[in-house]
């Protein structure tokens, strides 16, 4: 069976998750990407075809050459609508392209939720062809508020503004980095930031648990730690699932970020794909399920079992040490796989020694990723804290 996988840059989710899963399933894989050299360097034995994957017409044309596809799949935030349109073109199982587009476009997501009566958040779109000051003048922005790219990812250029002057400054800085980008300004939603991880086949929808997220201090929103939560309170899960249903989301993997305040769950963003930054690798190991195979199976039209057989009763956590200044990384710990009592801890660098980087106030600042699984949260926390205390990263300006 032929799988066409759409990708931009190489990611751990694809390299360590979906490609090995596809091989285990006996699938023939063709990677369609606009960065073919980067992918060939990472997995030279996989067929890689250069393609303007942001253009669904180019994707359909590329997938039409050679064996007919049995599945078209992507785990990229930026390519969900393109993959969904290609699936529709070839008559393959896939996501509704309208739902994929509505999840990606944060302004559209807010409008759809409001129109469905699922939730209403004050939000205003700043079109790419208009000055922010012209749009914001006199519309009664509630402060504090959050400004972010309409179609951004990974928390990049998401900033809290306490007043009008700060909001305009942030808009100018984002536009300087992203010329022509449309922005969204919305009310700040207080509460604890959490995630819900789901997997569906269009009929059956499984909730795999979620995470509680620790963020950096404002005004930025950098994810510094994620702690696994096997079961959010049932009323919270019901609220999140109802909002996802209003968006038409429920096929394949979905990673949803939301806040809970006084028992009310409100969506921050919907990432219609598997959670990244090695959280998906941790989920597969923690739950003891063939997570990546199951995601691909839905795109092959195979129904999910009523019971995934997920293992329960264990604890997990991920930590992301971050760069706090621009410069060259001159010292850092190497990869590690450790058994610390009942805890299995894995560390992987996210940046090479000798590499210079600016500070982005997003996951691009990660120096490495620690993930740990154990019998209790106490033992996991103790192991991770002890490991990090013995690590040293040096950044030279």
pLDDT of residue 174 exceeding 80, the answer is yes
pLDDT of residue 154 exceeding 80, the answer is no
Buried/exposed 298-321: b ≥16 CB within 10 Å, e otherwise: bbeeeebeeebeeeeebbbbbbbb
Distance (Å) of CA 289 to CA 137, 280, 293, 309: 52, 11, 9, 7
Q: How many domains does the chain have?
A: 3
What is the mean predicted confidence (pLDDT) over 220-229? 96
How many Å apart are CA 4 and CA 1, to the nearest integer? 10
CB 253 within 8 A of CB 270: no
340 in the same domain as 243? yes
Q: Is residue 104 part of a domain?
A: no
**Strand ranges (E), the chain:** 2-7, 28-33, 47-50, 71-74, 123-126, 145-149, 159-161, 183-187, 192-201, 205-215, 223-229, 251-261, 264-271, 315-319, 327-331, 336-340, 343-349, 356-357, 368-374, 394-396
With bands split at pLDDT 50, 70 and 90, how would you rate the model's confidence at 345?
very high
219 in the same domain as 171? no
pLDDT of residue 138 exceeding 90, the answer is no
List the 28-33 sheet strands across, edge first: 47-50, 28-33, 2-7, 71-74
How many Å apart are CA 226 and CA 380, to the nearest integer? 12
Distance (Å) of CA 116 to CA 188, 248, 257, 284: 21, 11, 19, 34
Instruction: Return the structure tokens found at 122.
Output: 């004050």
Confidence (pLDDT) at 259: 98
144 in the same domain as 74? no
With bands split at pLDDT 50, 70 and 90, how would you rate the model's confidence at 133?
confident
197 in the same domain as 177? no
Q: Is residue 260 part of a domain?
A: yes
203 in the same domain as 336? yes
pLDDT of residue 155 exceeding 80, the answer is no
Distance (Å) of CA 150 to CA 106, 118, 124, 390, 396: 5, 20, 10, 40, 34
CATH of the domain at 243: 3.30.470.20
With bands split at pLDDT 50, 70 and 90, how would you rate the model's confidence at 164?
very high
Q: Is residue 105 part of a domain?
A: no
Distance (Å) of CA 58 to CA 65, 75, 388: 11, 18, 45
Confidence (pLDDT) at 129: 86
Confidence (pLDDT) at 36: 97
**Judging by DSSP bridges, how do beta strands 368-374 and 343-349 pair with one another?**
antiparallel
Confidence (pLDDT) at 27: 98
Alpha helices in 146-205 (DSSP H): 164-177
CB 108 within 8 A of CB 102: yes
Confidence (pLDDT) at 179: 87
Confidence (pLDDT) at 130: 86
How many Å apart are CA 351 and CA 330, to the nearest integer? 11
Confidence (pLDDT) at 153: 78
Confidence (pLDDT) at 143: 96
CATH of the domain at 66: 3.40.50.20
306 in the same domain as 212? yes
46 in the same domain as 138? no
How many Å apart are CA 278 and CA 283, to the nearest integer? 9
What is the mean predicted confidence (pLDDT) over 253-257? 98
Confidence (pLDDT) at 167: 95
Confidence (pLDDT) at 98: 96
pLDDT 10s digits, 110-126: 999 999 999 999 999 99
Q: Is residue 227 part of a domain?
A: yes
**Judging by DSSP bridges, how do beta strands 28-33 and 2-7 pair with one another?**
parallel
With bands split at pLDDT 50, 70 and 90, how would you rate the model's confidence at 152?
confident
Confidence (pLDDT) at 136: 87
Instruction: Return the structure tokens found at 28.
Output: 């023939």
Q: Is residue 112 part of a domain?
A: no
Q: Is residue 71 part of a domain?
A: yes
196 in the same domain as 183? no
219 in the same domain as 143? no
Looking at 161, 187, 213, which one is the last position of a domain?
187
How many whole angstroms from its chain centre is CA 143? 27
Range of the domain at 151: 122-187
Instruction: Return the closest-CA partner of residue 322 out of 227, 229, 221.
Output: 221
Q: Is residue 331 part of a domain?
A: yes
167 in the same domain as 29? no
Instruction: Return the structure tokens found at 107.
Output: 């302004």
173 in the same domain as 39? no
Looking at 169, 187, 205, which one is the last position of a domain?
187
Whose structure tokens read 């996501």? 95
What is the mean predicted confidence (pLDDT) over 269-278? 96
Looking at 152, 187, 222, which one is the last position of a domain?
187
- DSSP string across 224-272: EEEEEES---HHHHHHHHHHHHHTT--EEEEEEEEEEETTEEEEEEEE-
Q: Is residue 99 part of a domain?
A: no
What is the mean predicted confidence (pLDDT) over 39-53? 97
Mean pLDDT, rounded, of the chain: 96
Helix 80-90 and helix 56-64: axis angle, to 10°? 50
CATH of the domain at 163: 3.30.1490.20
CB 127 within 8 A of CB 182: yes
233 in the same domain as 206? yes
Instruction: Return the structure tokens found at 315.
Output: 């604890």
Q: What is the pTM of this model?
A: 0.95
What is the mean predicted confidence (pLDDT) over 258-277? 96
The set of long-range contacts for 378-387, using a CB threshold of 8 Å and a minimum separation of 24, is 379/315, 379/341, 379/342, 379/343, 380/315, 380/316, 380/317, 380/343, 381/317, 382/343, 383/338, 383/340, 383/341, 383/343, 383/345, 384/317, 384/319, 384/345, 386/340, 387/336, 387/338, 387/340, 387/345, 387/347
What is the mean predicted confidence (pLDDT) over 335-359? 96
Sequence-distant (≥ 6) Cβ neighbours of residue 279 within 8 angstroms = 211, 226, 318, 371
């Amino acid at each position: 069976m032929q799988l066409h996988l759409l990708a931009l840059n190489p990611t751990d989710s694809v390299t360590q998750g979906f490609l090995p899963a596809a091989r285990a399933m006996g699938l023939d894989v063709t990677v369609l990407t606009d960065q073919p050299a980067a992918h060939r360097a990472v997995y030279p034995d996989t067929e890689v075809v250069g393609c303007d994957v942001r253009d669904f017409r180019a994707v359909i044309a590329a997938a039409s050459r050679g064996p007919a596809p049995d599945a078209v799949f992507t785990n990229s935030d930026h390519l969900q609508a393109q993959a969904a349109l290609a699936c529709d073109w070839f008559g393959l199982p896939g996501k509704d392209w309208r739902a994929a587009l509505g999840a990606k476009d944060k302004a559209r997501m807010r409008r759809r939720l409001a129109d469905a009566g699922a939730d209403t958040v004050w939000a205003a779109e700043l079109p790419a062809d208009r000055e922010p000051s012209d749009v914001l003048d006199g519309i009664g922005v509630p402060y504090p508020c959050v400004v972010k790219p309409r179609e951004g990812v990974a928390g990049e250029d998401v900033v809290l503004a306490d007043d009008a002057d700060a909001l305009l400054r942030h808009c100018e800085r984002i536009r300087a980095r992203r010329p022509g980008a449309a922005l969204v300004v919305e009310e700040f939603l207080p509460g604890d930031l959490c995630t819900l991880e789901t997997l569906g086949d269009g009929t059956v929808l499984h909730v795999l648990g979620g995470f509680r997220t620790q963020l950096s201090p404002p005004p930025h929103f950098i994810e510094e730690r994620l702690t696994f939560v096997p079961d959010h309170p049932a009323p919270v899960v019901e609220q999140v699932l109802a909002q996802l249903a209003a968006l038409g989301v429920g096929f394949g993997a979905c990673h949803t970020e939301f806040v809970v305040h006084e028992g009310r769950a409100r969506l921050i963003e919907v990432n219609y794909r598997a959670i990244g930054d090695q959280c998906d690798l941790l989920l597969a190991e923690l739950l003891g399920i063939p997570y990546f195979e199951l995601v691909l199976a839905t795109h092959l039209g195979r129904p999910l079992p009523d019971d995934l057989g997920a293992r329960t009763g264990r604890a997990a956590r991920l930590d992301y040490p971050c760069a706090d200044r621009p410069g060259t990384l001159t010292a850092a710990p190497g990869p590690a796989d450790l058994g610390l009592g009942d805890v299995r801890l894995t560390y992987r660098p996210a940046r090479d020694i000798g590499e210079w980087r600016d500070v982005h106030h997003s996951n691009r600042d990660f120096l490495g990723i620690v993930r740990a699984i154990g019998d209790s949260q106490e033992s996991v926390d103790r192991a991770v804290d002890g490991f990090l205390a013995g690590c040293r990263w040096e950044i030279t300006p």
